[in-house]
Each structure stands twice: as C-alpha cells, then as structure tokens.
Amino acid sequence: MPKAEICSALASPVRLQIIDLVSESEKTASEMLEVLEIPKANLSQHLAVLKDAGILQSRKEGLFQYMSLSLPKIKEACVLVRSVLLEKIAKEEKRNAEMIKELKAQR
C-alpha cells in the first residue's frame, strides 16, 4: 500500500470524520449517515477510498456491514497531523496580526 494512497485517502475532511467515528467503535453506514449528513452515494465513495487504501475494514453481521479501522495507528497519525496544522494556523494568524499592525502604523 503506497504512502501516497494513504495520504490521498486522508486528504478529505469527510474521510477524516469517518475515521474519527469508527475509531470510537465500529459503525454501520446508517450510523455514519446520521452523523455526517451527506448523501448515501457520497458516503459509499468515501468508504471505498478508505477501504482501498487499507485504512478501513468491514465485517458483515446479518444485513449490516460494520466498519472499523484496520490500521489503529491511523487515528494517532490524524491527531498528530491535526496538531501540526493547528500549530501552522496559529503561526500564520500571528504573522497576519503583525502585518495588520504594521500596515495600520504606516497610515
């Protein structure tokens, strides 16, 4: 499973929400639809991308398919990436505030 495939699968906010949902406990598509409020067809596409990347696995029980993380460390990776992004945003906001202050001082 190429790294680029995993990174590409993680490049969607909806797929990150799906990972958050199934990291708590396995979920059915119906349970995910209630939370995500997206069309069923969209959810199916996102689930397929995550399964193809090897991030999600499913098990069938009766009429239901339950999704769970096949790579538990993905949750840790998402937390780390989120932390890095928040730090980057904070630095950019600080830099923007400094630039605004400088521009106001020039008036």
Phi/psi of residue 5, nearest 5 degrees = -65, -40
- Give residue-wise pLDDT tens across range 40-73: 999 999 999 999 999 999 999 999 999 999 987 8
The parent domain of residue 14 ranges over: 3-106
CATH number at residue 62: 1.10.10.10
Task: State the helix-helix crossing angle for 13-24 and 29-36, rounded to 10 degrees.
Answer: 120
Per-residue pLDDT band for 6 (boundaries 50, 70, 90) equals confident
- Give residue-wise pLDDT tens across range 31-40: 999 999 999 9
pTM of the model: 0.75
Per-residue pLDDT band for 1 (boundaries 50, 70, 90) equals low
CA distances from 47 to 38, 42, 52, 81 (A): 12, 9, 8, 21
CA distances from 40 to 11, 35, 71 (A): 20, 12, 24
In whole angstroms, give the CA distance from residue 80 to residue 88.
12
Of 9, 11, 14, the C-alpha closest to 40 is 14
The total number of structural domains in the chain stands at 1
